Amino acid sequence: MKIRKPDLFQIITYPAVIIVFAIFISMLITFLIKSLPAFDMYGFNLYAKNVWIAAENPDNEKYGILAAIWGSIYTSIIAVGVALPLSIGYSIFVVDYAPKKVKNVLIILSDVMAGLPTIIYGVWAVFFLVPALKDNIMTPLYDTFSFIPLFSEPSISGFSIMSAGILLSIMVAPFASAIIRESYQMIPFKYKEAAFSLGLTRYETTKLLFGYIKPAVYSGMILAFGRAIGETVAVSLVVGNAFNLTANMLAPGYTISSLIANQFGNAFIYGHMTSVLYASGLFLFVIGLGVNLLGIYKLRRWRKNVEI
Amino acid sequence: MSKFDIRKIKEKLFLVTVAALAILAVFPLFHIVFTVFYEGISTIMATGPTFITGTLGEGGIGPAIVGTLMLTLLSSIIGIPIALAVGIYAYEYPNSRIGKITTTLLQIMLEFPTILVGLFVMQLIVIPMGSYSVIAGALALAIIMMPYVAVYTAESMSQIPFTFREAAFGLGVNRAKSVFMIIAPIAKRGILTGLLISTAKVAGETAPLLFTAGGLYQSYPHSFTQPVGSISLLIYTLVQSPSIADHQMAWGAALVLMVIFLAVFIPIRMSLKEVKL
Amino acid sequence: MKSLEYAIETRRLNISYGDNRVIKDVDMKIPKKTVFALMGPSGCGKSTMLRAFNRILELNKDAKVSGEIRLFGENIYAPGVDPTEVRKETGMVFQYPNPFPHLTVFENVAIGLKLNKLVKSRDELEDRIHWALEKAALLDEVRDRLKNYPSELSGGQKQRLVIARALAMKPKILLMDEPTANIDPIGTRKIEELLFELKKDYTIVLVTHSPPQAARVSDHVGFLYLGDLIEVGKTGKIFESPGSELTEKYLTGELI
Interface contact C92-A214, CB threshold 8 A: no
Q: Which tens digits make up the pLDDT trace of B124-169?
A: 999 999 999 999 999 999 999 999 999 999 998 988 888 888 887 8
Look up residue B215 and give its DSSP letter. -
User: Using CA atoms, how far apart are residues B101 and B80, in angstroms rounded to an integer?
Assistant: 20
Examine the pLDDT at C223 and tell me if it is beyond 60.
yes
User: Using CA atoms, how far apart are residues B145 and B124, in angstroms rounded to an integer?
Assistant: 18
pLDDT score for C236 = 92
Residue in chain C nearest A97 by alpha carbon: C61
Q: How would you classify the pairing of strands C220-225 and C228-234?
A: antiparallel
User: Using CA atoms, how far apart are residues C222 and C57, in angstroms rounded to an integer?
Assistant: 20
Interface check C117 vs B, CB under 8 A? yes
pLDDT score for C59 = 86
Interface check C114 vs B, CB under 8 A? no
Residue in chain C nearest A306 by alpha carbon: C101
Contacts of B166 (CB under 8 A, 6+ apart): none
Q: Which tens digits make up the pLDDT trace of A269-296?
A: 898 999 999 999 999 999 999 999 999 9
User: Using CA atoms, how far apart are residues C51 and C207, in angstroms rounded to an integer?
Assistant: 11
User: Using CA atoms, how far apart are residues A130 and C193, in angstroms rounded to an integer?
Assistant: 70
User: Using CA atoms, how far apart are residues B113 and A256, in angstroms rounded to an integer?
Assistant: 11
Length of chain B: 277
Q: Which tens digits make up the pLDDT trace of C134-172?
A: 989 999 999 999 999 998 899 999 999 999 999 999 999
pLDDT score for B275 = 55
Question: How far, CA to CA in Å, does A220 sit from each of A231, A232, C118?
Answer: 17, 20, 35
How many Å separate Cα C39 from the centre of its chain?
13
Residue in chain A nearest B181 by alpha carbon: A9
Phi, psi of A229 (to 5 degrees): -70, -25
Q: Considering only CB atoms, which chain A residues are within 8 Å of C96?
A: 188, 190
Contact between A226 and A290 under an 8 Å Cβ cutoff? The reply is: no
Q: Considering only CB atoms, which chain A residues are within 8 Å of B214?
A: none
For residue B160, give the CATH number of its domain.
1.10.3720.10
Give exposure, C191-226, as e/b (b: 16+ Cβ within 10 Å).
bbebbeebbeebbbbbbbbebebbbbbbbbbbbbbe
Contact between C136 and C113 under an 8 Å Cβ cutoff? The reply is: no
Give C82→chain B minimum CA distance, Å.
10
Indicate whether B27 belongs to any domain.
no
Residue type (1 letter), A206: T
Q: Where are the beta strands (DSSP E) in chain C?
A: 6-17, 20-31, 35-39, 63-71, 74-75, 90-93, 173-177, 203-208, 220-225, 228-234
Q: What percent of chain B has pLDDT over 70?
A: 96
pLDDT score for A5 = 64
Q: Which tens digits make up the pLDDT trace of A102-112?
A: 999 999 999 99
pLDDT in tens, chain A (308 residues): 555 666 888 888 999 999 999 999 999 999 999 999 999 999 999 999 899 988 888 888 899 999 999 999 999 999 999 999 999 999 999 999 999 889 999 999 999 999 999 999 999 999 999 999 988 888 888 888 888 888 887 788 889 999 999 999 999 999 999 999 999 998 989 999 999 999 998 999 999 999 999 999 999 999 999 999 999 999 999 999 999 998 889 999 999 999 999 999 888 889 899 999 999 999 999 999 999 999 998 888 888 776 54
Burial of residue C134 (CB within 10 Å: 0-12, 13-18, 19+) is: middle
User: Using CA atoms, how far apart are residues A275 and A273, in angstroms rounded to an integer?
Assistant: 5
Q: Which tens digits make up the pLDDT trace of C182-219?
A: 889 998 998 999 999 899 999 999 999 899 999 999 99
User: Using CA atoms, how far apart are residues C221 and B183, in angstroms rounded to an integer?
Assistant: 53
Indicate whether B266 belongs to any domain.
yes
pLDDT range class, residue C132, cuts 50, 70, 90:
very high
Q: Considering only CB atoms, which chain A residues are within 8 Å of B15?
A: 97, 202
Examine the pLDDT at B1 and tell me if it is beyond 90.
no
Find the helix packing angle between B97-110 and A273-306, rounded to 10°. Answer: 120
Indicate whether B68 belongs to any domain.
yes
Q: Which tens digits make up the pLDDT trace of B211-232?
A: 999 989 999 998 999 999 999 9
Burial of residue B136 (CB within 10 Å: 0-12, 13-18, 19+) is: buried
User: Using CA atoms, how far apart are residues A169 and A221, in angstroms rounded to an integer?
Assistant: 11
Give B7→chain C minimum CA distance, Å.
9
Interface contact A123-B265, CB threshold 8 A: no
Number of domains in chain B: 1
* Chain B touching partners, 3 or more CB pairs below 8 A: A, C
Q: Which tens digits make up the pLDDT trace of B241-275?
A: 999 999 999 999 999 999 999 998 888 888 766 55
Q: What is the DSSP string of chain A?
A: -PPPPPPHHHHHHHHHHHHHHHHHHHHHHHHHHHHHHHHHHHTTHHHH-EEEE--SSGGG-EEEEHHHHHHHHHHHHHHHHHHHHHHHHHHHIIIIIS-HHHHHHHHHHHHHHHHS-HHHHHHHIIIIIHHHHIIIIIHHHHHHHTTSGGG-S--SSS-SHHHHHHHHHHHHHHHHHHHHHHHHHHS-HHHHHHHHHTT--HHHHHHHHHHHTHHHHHHHHHHHHHHHHH--HHHHHHSB------S-TTS-B--HHHHHHHHHHHHTTSSSHHHHHHHHHHHHHHHHHHHHHHHHHHHHHHHHHHT-
Give exposure, B91-111, as e/b (b: 16+ Cβ within 10 Å).
bbbeeeeebeebbebbbbbbb
Write out the residue range of the structural domain in which residue B264 sits.
48-271
- C-alpha dihedral sign at A198, A203, A209, A214: negative
Residue type (1 letter), A10: Q
- Half-sphere exposure (CA, 13 Å, Cβ side) for B188? 5
**B:2-61 residues touching chain C, CB 8 A cutoff:** 3-4, 7
Q: The whole model's pTM is what? A: 0.88
User: Using CA atoms, how far apart are residues A161 and A74, in angstroms rounded to an integer?
Assistant: 7
Segment B4-30 shows an average pLDDT of 91
Q: Around Cβ C164, how many Cβ atoms within 10 Å?
A: 26
Residue in chain C nearest B11 by alpha carbon: C84
Q: What percent of chain C has pLDDT over 70?
A: 98
| Three-state DSSP state, C106 | helix
Domain A45-304, CATH among 1.10.3720.10, 3.30.450.40, 3.90.1580.10, 1.10.8.350: 1.10.3720.10
* Chain A touching partners, 3 or more CB pairs below 8 A: B, C
- Nearest by Cα to C73 from C19, C4, C136: C4
User: Using CA atoms, how far apart are residues C160 and C164, in angstroms rounded to an integer?
Assistant: 6
